Amino acid sequence: MFHNRYSIYKVENMKVYLDDLRKAPEGWTHVYWPDEAITFLKTGQVEEISLDHDLGDDERGTGYDVVLWIEEAVATEGFYPPKIVVHSANSSARAKMELGIASIMKFAKQLKSSKNKSPL
């Protein structure tokens, strides 16, 4: 169980698929815009999220905006991120997103490790 300002407990695990064109795999919740993905992330119930980058309307955001939100939530709220996968065909955006995700996971691991250490 993880506590943050978004979630007090996990009720069920959810998989979220962000894409404007591709069909979500069976058992995944399909969202089309970053704000929809972030709404689900805020529940604390997302165990895995798969992100496309180009969503057809850059004014509404990209998959990278979700990565940025997760990064900020981890850094400022102690949010523990779900498994994050990028399925974008845009290779340069994919690389940028994967670098961000690697950084998020490294920082989240450090936070979790420091919280589990007992004081001397």
Kindly report, residue by residue over 15-70, the tens digit of the pLDDT: 999 999 999 999 999 999 999 999 999 999 999 999 999 999 888 999 999 999 99
What whole-number distance in Å separates Cα of residue 103 and Cα of residue 107?
A: 6
pLDDT band at 114 (very low <50, low <70, confident <90, very high): confident
What whole-number distance in Å separates Cα of residue 109 and Cα of residue 80?
A: 9
- State residue 120's pLDDT score: 52
All domains in the chain, ordered by first residue: 14-114 (3.40.50.2300)
pLDDT at position 88 over 80: yes
- State residue 2's pLDDT score: 40
What whole-number distance in Å separates Cα of residue 114 and Cα of residue 118?
A: 9
Residue 4, phi then psi, degrees to nearest 5:
-155, 180
For 99, the token pair is: 């670098």
pLDDT at position 91 over 50: yes
Question: Residue 85 pairs with which residues in a beta bridge?
Answer: 50
What size, in residues, is the chain? Answer: 120
What whole-number distance in Å separates Cα of residue 40 and Cα of residue 50?
A: 13
Among residues 6, 15, 97, the alpha carbon closest in space to that of 44 is found at: 6
> What's the average model confidence in pLDDT over 67-74?
97
Structure pTM?
0.84
- The set of residues, in sequence order, having a beta carbon less than 8 Å from that of 31 and lying 6+ positions away, is 16, 17, 18, 37, 40
> What's the average model confidence in pLDDT over 87-93?
97
